[in-house]
């Protein structure tokens, strides 16, 4: 029997089951590859993870989504929602349950835990680096993530395997096959300096121009929700009048900044605005997007299913969710057979190539 096994944490069950089915098809097997586990919580908030099958001599791939806030547990006489910290600790518990019995352990964490706290300024914690080192200490051989906030965080584990994949191909293929767009009338705009490299990558894949970027002006004297609030956006770039615009970022948290950018682009006469992000958290709810959509500030938001999307969000006409389960299954299988990940990292679909060429 093949050695490949999946451990699917409860926070990524839907995606994990799809990955399981794709892997069974790729490998030509009928038996499920998922090892059942139990994630338990005691009434005082402590917990444990129990593996229901042996992982001895197996190649284990743990799938987890630290952004899933829908899972609750009872603590004393009230209910808590699991936070990214809870999900992180459950991964550590799972690794402790494996107890180095597996031949190899790979961690598939699409949104890298604490990836926004990847560098230190003054007396700050350095959470992402510490977490990466702890994963390695607990026996993880490979870390796989997607569109990480800053790939330089892998310097925290310089001798370890760390691969950052991009779902760009899949997102853009969905975009060009569902929307009536022509590259000659398409411009890519970055919401800030930090997203400029990512936006340029999207523009190159589509064969369209990089229109420009926005400069964020922040209030350095105040801190709100852990950040300096944005006072305004200044656009630097080409004329957007009459153009279809794509706005790209790695994540949408509250979404206020992206919507501010969309409003500024609309003021300058843009025709349609499409937003792209690997992760959509909607931390301040969906209503601000509903209003912006009603006010015609944007046309569609394209996101992946690599992180949790609420049932309410799935009902929105303005949200397009791109399925990455087959892509993830191919990545896992490639690791399993010892193949090079370079072709996966650099590949482009024919549909996208034809669009970029104008065919």
Q: How far apart are CA 280 and CA 289, in angstroms?
A: 12
Contact residues for 28 (Cβ-Cβ < 8 A; gap 6+): none
User: Angle between the 196-206 and 168-178 helix axes, to the nearest 10 degrees?
Assistant: 50
* Mean pLDDT for the stretch of residues 45-61: 95
Q: What is the pLDDT of residue 193?
A: 82
Kindly report each contact of residues 259-262 with a partner whose C-beta sits within 8 Å and lies 24 or more positions away, as own/partner: 259/288, 259/289, 259/292, 259/297, 259/298, 260/230, 260/233, 261/189, 261/191, 261/214, 261/233, 262/292, 262/297, 262/298
Q: Is the pLDDT of residue 218 over 90?
A: no
Q: Using alpha carbons only, how large is the chain's radius of gyration in Å?
A: 21
What mean pLDDT is predicted for residues 141-157?
Answer: 92
Other Cβ atoms closer than 10 A to 225: 9
Question: Please, how many CA atoms are within 13 Å of residue 165, restricted to the half-sphere of its CB?
Answer: 26
Distances 287 to 67, 211, 261, 312, 316 between C-alpha atoms, Å: 20, 29, 17, 11, 11
Question: Looking at 10-19, 118-127, 193-202, 319-328, which range is the least confident one?
Answer: 118-127
Q: Quick one: pLDDT band at residue 176, thresholds 50, 70, 90?
A: very high
Tell me what pLDDT residue 181 has.
93
Helix and strand counts by DSSP (H, E) for the chain: 11, 16
pLDDT, tens digit, for every residue of 282-332? 999 999 999 999 999 999 999 999 999 999 999 999 999 999 999 999 999
Domains of the chain: 4-165+324-340 (3.40.50.2020), 168-322 (3.40.50.2020)
What is the reported pTM? 0.91
């Amino acid at each position: 029997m093949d050695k490949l096994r999946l451990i699917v944490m409860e926070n990524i069950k839907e995606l994990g089951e799809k990955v399981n089915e794709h892997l069974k098809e790729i490998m030509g097997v009928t038996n499920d590859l998922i090892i059942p586990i139990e994630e338990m919580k005691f009434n005082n908030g402590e917990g444990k993870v129990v593996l229901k099958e042996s992982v001895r001599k197996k190649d284990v791939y743990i799938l987890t989504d630290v952004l899933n806030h829908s899972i609750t547990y009872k603590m004393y006489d009230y209910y808590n929602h699991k936070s990214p910290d809870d999900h992180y600790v459950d991964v550590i518990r799972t690794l402790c349950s494996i107890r180095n019995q597996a031949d190899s352990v790979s961690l598939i964490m699409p949104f890298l835990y604490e990836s926004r706290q990847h560098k230190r300024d003054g007396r700050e914690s350095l959470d992402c680096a510490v977490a990466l080192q702890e994963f390695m200490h607990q026996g993880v051989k490979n870390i796989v993530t997607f569109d990480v906030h800053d790939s330089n965080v892998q310097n925290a584990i310089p001798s370890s395997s760390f691969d950052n994949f991009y779902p760009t191909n899949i997102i853009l293929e969905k975009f060009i096959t569902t929307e009536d767009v022509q590259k000659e009338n398409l411009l890519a705009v970055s919401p800030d300096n930090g997203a400029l490299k990512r936006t340029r990558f999207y523009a190159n894949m589509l064969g369209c121009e990089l229109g420009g970027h926005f400069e964020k002006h922040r209030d350095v004297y105040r801190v709100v929700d852990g950040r300096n609030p944005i006072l305004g956006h200044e656009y630097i770039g080409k004329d957007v009048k009459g153009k279809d615009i794509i706005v790209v970022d790695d994540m949408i948290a509250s979404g206020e900044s992206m919507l501010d950018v969309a409003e500024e682009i609309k003021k300058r006469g843009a025709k349609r605005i499409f937003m792209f992000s690997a992760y959509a958290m909607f931390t301040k709810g969906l209503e601000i997007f509903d209003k912006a959509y009603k006010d015609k500030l944007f046309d569609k938001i394209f996101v992946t299913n690599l992180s949790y999307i609420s049932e309410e969000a799935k009902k929105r006409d303005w949200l397009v969710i791109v399925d990455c389960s087959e892509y993830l299954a191919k990545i896992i299988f490639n690791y399993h057979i010892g193949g090079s990940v370079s072709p996966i990292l650099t590949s482009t679909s024919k549909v996208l190539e034809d669009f970029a060429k104008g065919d």
